[in-house]
Amino acid sequence: MSIRFLLLTPLLLPQPTGKPLTNRQKIALAATIVSVIFLFIAVSLLRHYLGLLGAVILRVKTAIGFENDNP
């Protein structure tokens, strides 16, 4: 770990107060975690299907004779 990280860590983490989370805070935390997970899944699927689309376009271009776009 870098010294910079160790110096910034106390600034980034809130001090523990010992109070339990309220129900509203628990729901907000769960919703945030689920939203981030869904975001990662959506990005992964989008990259996968855009990659497949790119491969299909490349095959079609090769099949019709446009192997190289640069003159």
pLDDT, one tens digit for every residue, the chain (71 residues): 555 555 555 556 566 778 888 999 999 999 999 999 999 999 888 888 888 888 887 788 787 776 665 55
Q: Measured in Å, how far apart are the chain's first and last C-alpha atoms? A: 50
Count CA atoms closer than 13 A to 68's CA, side-chain side. 2
Closest by CA to 21, choosing from 10, 11, 12, 32, is 32
pTM here is: 0.54
Q: Which residues of 22-33 are buried (b: 16+ CB within 10 A; e: fewer)?
A: eeeeeeeeeeee
State residue 56's pLDDT score.
80
State residue 35's pLDDT score.
94
